[in-house]
């Protein structure tokens, strides 16, 4: 695991070293550079495979190609054997070197053979050509900036900002996306002129021009596997194989364990593969409806893991500024707090941790997926009736529970009159267009922030609702919310996070199943539940979904109240793009009324902290990094 950075343009060794320095948390074990002519590559390394070798940048036999690489290639041993049989000579035992020799054989088609999580830059010296690539599911991030025939790239956006020529102008369309969905989907970033390389894409930079192309997309086979028993056997084998691949490591590894099926499945399959001892890590909350500890203990005891727990105290006001620094961009998903804290806990014992991220998307695990199926029946009701029920639903109060059943019912009914795609987007949006316009009064974007998500809906090659939702979430919510915060919050503690459910082979296998097999009925995770029933404790199978969330409703009325009132006060907002009056209405409604707006308020607090860090305080941060570089 690493942080990578580089430039194609005028030579600037000091800037290149600063870009590596600001990524040091991603790779505290090693640092390396390659500079030749107009190209500069930099890497910070966290040693996972081949602890002695594997220094980056890596080169092929004749040093005609150079690579900086972030991630893991899980099939590198099979690829290496095949490449050695063709005469390639390896200098190390690291997985990254496989990419270089595969590129020699296949060119850009090498990407079709790589299985794992990765973001890399490969410099082809004879052709003066740079290839950037990101893994199919978007597990590892990669940012880039094009300017006047030059290119800069990095694992984290902050490294690009070190260039004094890089403008720090907020992209209002990206801000609208953030306030609507709580994350910024690729390829946009919060800064105008800086982009995220989308998942499953490559960028070729040659002769001062960039070409972006997709090398992978999820497809749904026209002849779907409908045999239930055969599907169960294939999926269980696919899960086992994925978990096995994700165990390749020369350092200790563990598992983030909640009370849910996804992480419990990972632990059960690890035990079945003979792994031991398994170290598991769980966070607990004092608020009972948010606690995962009791359920996690059941799994830990059933599989004899070495279990570690940590009770979360609501000291988030002191924690949040540091987390926002590591995020790079505003990201309003409050589960980032849990991910950061459990990463800190795990890093005391291990260097690699496995997570259940992706299980909900693959196995029909969100209540909104069930709601989408129900809505097809609900849409048969007269439109006038659905509109009337939607108006009445606005009076339904929220619950302080983590699953908030009345709030879900209200959202279902409010969106009832809308067409299918817009209805789903209403459920996953946190601000309606009218509320967004009020919040950004005078600064609203010209483009509807839902346009990108709607485009993915219409691009989906399948018509079944469960397929369409899988496709859209794999293109947006999974990579740009869950996987992005997973990467940033784990790497803040120099911990490598692995996600077996986001294995390309496994995703493609699930897409080959008939919808009636993958997502039958109205139960959450029916396929995974049936497959894992013989392997998991009954309590896990019976437990309702809680969600990976924190008690923000209580925190905003308690330990976070002072911070929120300060950051969202009229004086602090007056010079920014947020309308103080609209923010004040939202804040008072949450503190005084029956409705909960903690998600929206958390997103606003994060944005204000982000502005303080990356706009107001950036000059001081940059001076600090450059001074560290000058001191050596």
Encode pLDDT of 319-343 as tens digits: 999 999 999 999 999 999 999 999 9
Backbone angles phi, psi at 167, to 5 degrees: -70, 150
Domain boundary among 496, 517, 542: 542
Provide the pLDDT for residue 402: 60
pLDDT band at 581 (very low <50, low <70, confident <90, very high): very high
Mark whether 121 and 259 lie in a shared domain. no
Which residue in 32, 534, 56 sits closest to 269, CA to CA?
Answer: 534
- Calculate what percentage of the chain has a pLDDT beyond 90: 71
The answer to whether residues 199 and 250 belong to one domain is: no
Which of 490, 511, 542 is the last residue before a domain boundary?
Answer: 542
Query: Which residue would you say has higher pLDDT here, 404 or 152?
Result: 152
Tell me: the pLDDT tens digits for 85-130?
998 999 888 899 999 999 999 999 999 999 999 999 999 999 999 9
Least confident span in 282-296, 421-435, 571-585: 282-296
Residue 222, phi-psi category: left (phi > 0), alpha (psi -120 to 50), beta (remainder) = alpha
Q: What is the pLDDT of residue 192?
A: 95
The DSSP string of 293-331 is: HHHHHHHHHHHT-EEEEEEEPS-HHHHHHHHHHHHSS--
The answer on 257 and 302 residing in a single domain is yes
Please give the pLDDT value at position 546: 61
Structure-token match 């995770």, residue found:
525
Using DSSP bridges, classify how beta strands 143-147 and 150-154 pair: parallel, antiparallel or unpaired. antiparallel
Is there a cis peptide before residue 57, judged by omega within 30 degrees of 0? yes
Residue 371's pLDDT is 92
Q: Judge whether 199 lies within some domain.
A: yes
Residue 506 covered by a domain = yes
In this structure, are residues 497 and 448 in contact, taking their beta carbons and an 8 Å threshold? no
Q: What was the pLDDT predicted at 171?
A: 95
Instruction: Give one DSSP letter per residue of 490-533, joined into a string.
Output: HHTTT-EEE-GGG-HHHHHHHHTB-HHHHS-TTSSSHHHHHHHT
How many other β-carbons are positioned within 10 Å of the β-carbon of residue 54? 23
- Tens digits of residue pLDDT in 449-477: 999 999 999 898 877 888 999 999 999 99
**Are 199 and 242 part of one and the same domain?**
no
| 194 and 233 assigned to the same domain | no
Residue 52 has pLDDT above 90, yes or no: no
CA dihedral sign, ordered 234, 235, 237, 238: positive
The phi and psi torsions of 417 (rounded to 5 degrees) equal: -75, -10
3-state SS class at 228: helix
**Dist CA 454 CA 233 (whole Å):** 35
Does residue 238 surpass a pLDDT of 60? Answer: yes
Residues 54 and 136 in one domain: yes
- Is 2 noted as a catalytic residue in this protein? yes
pLDDT of residue 462: 77
Q: Are 210 and 235 in the same domain?
A: no
Q: Are 513 and 364 in contact (CB under 8 A)?
A: no
pLDDT digits (tens, 9 = 90+) for 367-387: 999 999 999 888 889 999 999
| Residues 180 and 252 both lie in one domain | no
Number of folded domains in the chain?
A: 2
User: What HEC string does 524-544 produce?
Assistant: CCHHHHHHHCCCCCHHHHHCC
Top mean pLDDT of 439-443, 525-529, 548-552 is at: 525-529
| CATH number of the domain within which 31 lies | 3.60.20.10
**Residue 552 forms part of a structural domain:** no
Q: What is the pLDDT of residue 547?
A: 55
Which range has the worst mean pLDDT, 241-245, 439-443, 502-506?
439-443
Given a cut of 60, is residue 237 above it in pLDDT? Answer: yes
Say if residue 236 is in the same domain as residue 209.
no
pLDDT (0 to 100) of residue 295: 87
DSSP state of 108: G
Task: Look up the CATH number of the domain holding residue 280.
Answer: 3.40.50.620
Q: What is the pLDDT of residue 404?
A: 75
pLDDT at 548: 57
Q: Does residue 454 belong to any structural domain of this protein?
A: no
Q: What contacts 65, CB < 8 A, 6 or more positions away?
A: 59, 100, 103, 104, 122, 123, 124, 125
* CB 94 within 8 Å of CB 43: no
Q: How confident is the model at residue 579 (pLDDT cuts 50, 70, 90)?
A: very high
The pLDDT, as a whole number, for residue 149 is 93
Domain span holding position 23: 2-216
* Higher pLDDT among residues 238 and 225, named by residue: 238
Given the residues 2, 65, 110, 460, the one annotated as active site: 2
Question: Alpha-carbon distance 2 to 23, whole Å?
Answer: 9
pLDDT digits (tens, 9 = 90+) for 133-167: 999 999 999 999 999 999 999 999 999 999 999 99
Do 131 and 86 share a domain, yes or no? yes
Average pLDDT on 270-275 reads: 94
**Residue ranges of the alpha helices (H) in 152-220?**
157-161, 172-181
Q: Is residue 280 part of a domain?
A: yes
Q: Which of these three, 522, 542, 562, is where a domain ends?
A: 542
Kindly report the number of other CB atoms within 10 A of residue 422's CB atom.
15
Q: CA distances (Å), 273 to each of 266, 369, 536, in order? A: 11, 32, 15
The verdict on residue 396 lying in a domain is: no
Its sign, for the CA torsion 230, 235, 236, 241, is positive
Residue 167 lies in a domain: yes
Model confidence at 10, pLDDT cuts 50, 70, 90, reads: very high
Would you say 499 and 117 are in contact if contact means Cβ atoms under 8 Å apart? yes
Alpha carbon 72 to its chain centroid, in Å, reads 16
pLDDT tens-place string over residues 279-322: 999 988 766 666 778 889 999 999 999 999 988 775 788 899 99
Task: Mark whether 208 and 61 lie in a shared domain.
Answer: yes
571 found inside a domain: no
434's CB contacts (< 8 A; 6+ apart) are none
In the predicted structure, residue 400 carries a pLDDT above the cut 70: no
Question: What HEC string does 405-443 produce?
Answer: HHHHHHHHHHCCCCCHHHHHHHHHCCCCHHHHHHHCCCC
> Are 27 and 113 within one domain?
yes
Q: Mean pLDDT over all residues of the chain?
A: 91
Tell me whether strands 201-206 and 143-147 are parallel, antiparallel or unpaired: unpaired
Regarding pTM above 0.85, the answer is yes
The string over 164-202, giving b where at least 16 C-beta atoms fall within 10 Å of a residue's C-beta and e elsewhere, is: eebeeebbbbbbbbbbbbbbbbbbbbbbeebbbbbbbbb
Position 314 scores a pLDDT of: 59
């Amino acid at each position: 695991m690493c942080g990578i950075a580089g430039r194609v343009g005028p030579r600037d060794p000091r800037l290149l070293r600063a870009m590596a320095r600001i990524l040091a948390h991603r790779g505290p074990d090693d640092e390396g550079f390659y500079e030749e002519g107009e190209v500069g590559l930099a890497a910070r390394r966290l040693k996972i495979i081949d602890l002695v070798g594997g220094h980056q940048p890596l080169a092929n036999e004749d040093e005609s190609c150079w690579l900086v690489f972030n991630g893991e290639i899980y099939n590198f041993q099979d690829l290496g054997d095949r490449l050695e049989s063709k005469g390639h000579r390896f200098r190390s035992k690291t997985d990254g070197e496989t990419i270089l020799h595969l590129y020699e054989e296949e060119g850009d088609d090498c990407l079709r053979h790589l299985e794992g999580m990765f973001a890399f830059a490969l410099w082809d010296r004879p052709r003066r050509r740079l290839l950037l690539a990101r893994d199919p599911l978007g597990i590892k991030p990669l940012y880039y900036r094009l300017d006047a025939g030059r290119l800069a790239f990095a694992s984290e956006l902050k490294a690009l900002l070190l260039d004094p020529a890089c403008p720090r102008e907020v992209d209002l369309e990206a801000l609208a996306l953030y306030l609507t969905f709580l994350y910024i989907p690729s390829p946009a970033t919060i800064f105008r002129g800086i982009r995220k390389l989308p998942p499953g894409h490559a960028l070729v930079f040659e002769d001062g021009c960039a070409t972006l192309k997709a090398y992978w997309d999820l497809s749904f086979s026209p002849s779907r596997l409908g045999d239930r028993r055969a599907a169960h056997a294939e999926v269980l084998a696919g899960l086992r194989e994925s978990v096995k691949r994700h165990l390749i490591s020369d350092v200790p590894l563990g598992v983030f364990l909640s009370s849910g099926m996804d992480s419990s499945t990972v632990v059960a399959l690890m035990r079945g593969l003979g792994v031991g001892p398994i170290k598991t890590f769980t966070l607990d909350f004092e608020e009972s409806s948010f606690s995962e500890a009791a359920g996690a203990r059941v799994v830990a005891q059933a599989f004899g893991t070495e279990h570690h727990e940590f009770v979360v105290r609501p000291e988030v006001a002191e924690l949040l500024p540091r987390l926002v620094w590591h995020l790079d961009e505003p990201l309003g998903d409050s589960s980032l707090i849990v991910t950061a804290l459990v990463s800190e806990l795990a890093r005391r014992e291990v260097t690699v941790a496995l997570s259940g991220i992706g299980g909900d998307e693959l196995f029909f695990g969100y209540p909104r997926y069930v709601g989408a199926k129900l809505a097809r029946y609900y849409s048969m009701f007269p439109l006038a009736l659905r509109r009337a029920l939607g108006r009445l639903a606005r009076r339904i109060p929220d619950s302080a529970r983590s699953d908030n059943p009345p709030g879900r019912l209200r959202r279902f009914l409010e969106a009832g009159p809308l067409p299918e795609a817009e209805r789903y987007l209403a459920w996953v949006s946190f601000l309606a267009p009218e509320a967004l316009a009020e919040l950004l009064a005078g600064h609203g974007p010209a483009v509807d922030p839902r346009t990108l998500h709607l485009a993915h809906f219409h691009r989906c090659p399948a018509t079944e609702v469960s397929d369409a939702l899988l496709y859209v979430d794999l293109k947006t919510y999974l990579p740009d919310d869950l996987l992005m915060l997973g990467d940033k919050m784990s790497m803040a503690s120099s911990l490598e996070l692995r996600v077996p459910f986001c294995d390309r082979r496994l995703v493609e296998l699930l897409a080959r199943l008939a919808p009636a097999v993958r997502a039958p009925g109205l139960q959450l995770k029916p396929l995974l539940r049936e497959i894992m029933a013989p392997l998991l404790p009954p309590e896990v199978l019976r437990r309702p979904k809680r969600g990976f969330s924190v008690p923000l409703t209580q925190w905003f009325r308690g330990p976070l109240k002072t911070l929120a009132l300060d950051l969202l006060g009229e004086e602090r907002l007056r010079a920014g793009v947020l309308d103080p009056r609209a923010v004040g209405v939202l804040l008072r409604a949450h503190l005084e009324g029956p409705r909960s707006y903690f998600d929206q308020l958390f997103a606003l607090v994060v944005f204000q902290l982000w502005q303080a860090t990356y706009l107001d305080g950036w000059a001081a941060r940059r001076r600090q990094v450059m001074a560290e570089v000058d001191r050596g």
